[in-house]
């Protein structure tokens, strides 16, 4: 039998940071398991899954366009993947496929470490894939009120309807609405693309003035390291954190699933962060 291997699949996938992150964590553990990117186009999942099982792939991560398409192909789904309806981590055990989603839990760990969790009232900006993972996890882990503010109203409504009774409320993305909701919130989580290079910018940041002094702002974007949203939050004395710790911790959690054992999460995240830093130089 061939040696065990790990992969990340997607299309595109060659830009993914996952190989750098996982290689660093595996090296830190002294494990000689290759982790490589593998281009799988939309519609290519059945063929890939057969190939993976035959070639001793013990696990893989998935990025666009596969996270949702993987769900019906799994033999088993964990609670988060089932709730979100998307899979970012798959373990192959005894020929069975077990689907996980570590995005929400990775975000929660990052929020905790930044001193931004727990919070009762949260404004979540965006209603795409990342927002779904984050908003549903926060609702499942004790947030009493999560407003999902999105440019396209139908997507906010669909996301809110997927949450536990009465916790998620859809809202629009107008400055007026964001300002009104921020008067009642202790945390704002940006799950939109706004602030990422080439993806547009918030029309104004005055909604941050409505937050209480103790509130925090978490931006899922990690490139640039300081978005304008984070800079504006810090200028107002608010606690602020970018999405890098979330990226690292969702990967640590994925590796725990692959290896089927708990890891020293901070040590893994530090090794991965250092490797990412080196890869940029
Ligand atoms: P997605 O599914 O495409 O969702 C994008 C969201 O951004 C949608 O809600 C969209 O609103 C909103 N949006 C885009 N342009 C906008 C604009 N000009 N004005 C207002 N809203 C706008 O993307 P995703 O996968 O959820 O990712 C969202 C962000 O999270 C990306 O920046 C991604 O890099 C980041 N992310 C980070 C991590 C991490 O580990 N740190 C993990 C996952 C994602 P509409 O619905 O109206 O189009």
User: Does residue 137 have an active-site annotation?
Assistant: no
**pLDDT recorded at residue 281:** 86
**pLDDT recorded at residue 1:** 66
157-182 pLDDT, tens digit per residue, is 999 999 999 999 999 999 999 999 99
Q: Could you give the C-alpha distances from 26 to 30, 38, 195, 203, 276, in angstroms and in order?
A: 6, 18, 32, 42, 14
C-alpha–C-alpha distance, residues 35 and 18, integer Å: 8
Is the CB–ligand 1 distance for residue 129 below 6 Å? yes
32-43 pLDDT, tens digit per residue, is 999 999 999 999
Q: Mutate which of 16, 126, 135, 174 to test ligand 1's pocket (most atoms within 8 Å of Cβ)?
A: 126
C-alpha–C-alpha distance, residues 176 and 107, integer Å: 27
Q: Are 242 and 230 in contact (CB under 8 A)?
A: yes
C-alpha–C-alpha distance, residues 27 and 281, integer Å: 20
**pLDDT recorded at residue 247:** 98
Task: Check whether the bond before 65 is cis (ω within 30° of 0).
Answer: yes
**pLDDT recorded at residue 30:** 98
**Is the pLDDT reported for residue 266 higher than 80?**
yes
34-81 pLDDT, tens digit per residue, is 999 999 999 999 999 999 999 999 999 999 999 999 999 999 999 999
- Per DSSP, the three-state class of 266 is helix
**Is the pLDDT reported for residue 104 higher than 80?**
yes
C-alpha–C-alpha distance, residues 268 and 272, integer Å: 6
Atom of ligand 1 nearest to the CA of 250: 40
Ligand 1 centroid distance, CA of 59 (Å): 26
The average pLDDT across 22-37 equals 98
Q: How many CB atoms lie within 10 A of CB 81?
A: 26
201-226 pLDDT, tens digit per residue, is 999 999 999 999 999 999 999 999 99
**pTM exceeds 0.95 for this model:** yes
């Amino acid at each position: 039998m061939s040696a065990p291997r790990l992969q990340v699949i997607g299309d595109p996938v060659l830009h993914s940071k996952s190989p750098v992150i996982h290689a660093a964590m595996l090296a830190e553990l002294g494990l000689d398991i290759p982790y490589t990117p593998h281009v799988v186009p939309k519609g290519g999942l059945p063929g890939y899954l057969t190939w993976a099982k035959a070639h001793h792939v013990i696990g893989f991560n998935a990025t666009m366009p596969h996270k949702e398409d993987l769900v019906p192909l799994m033999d088993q789904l964990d609670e988060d993947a089932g709730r979100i309806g998307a899979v970012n981590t798959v373990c192959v055990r005894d020929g069975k496929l077990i689907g996980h989603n570590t995005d929400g839990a990775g975000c929660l760990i990052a929020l905790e470490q930044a001193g931004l969790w727990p919070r009762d009232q949260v404004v979540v900006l965006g209603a795409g894939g990342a927002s779904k993972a984050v908003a549903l996890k926060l609702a499942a882990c004790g947030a009493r009120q999560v407003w999902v503010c999105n440019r396209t109203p139908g997507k906010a409504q669909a996301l809110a309807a997927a949450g536990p009774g009465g916790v998620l409320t859809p809202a629009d993305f107008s400055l007026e609405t964001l300002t009104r909701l921020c008067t009642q919130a202790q945390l704002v989580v940006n799950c939109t693309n706004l602030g990422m290079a080439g993806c547009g910018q918030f029309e104004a940041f005055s909604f941050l003035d409505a937050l209480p002094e103790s509130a925090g702002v978490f931006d899922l974007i990690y490139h640039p390291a300081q978005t304008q949203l984070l800079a504006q939050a810090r200028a107002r004395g608010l606690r602020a954190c970018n999405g890098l710790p979330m990226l690292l911790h969702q990967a640590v959690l994925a590796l725990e699933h692959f290896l089927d054992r708990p890891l020293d999460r901070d040590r893994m995240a530090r090794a991965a962060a250092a490797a990412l830093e080196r890869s940029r130089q």
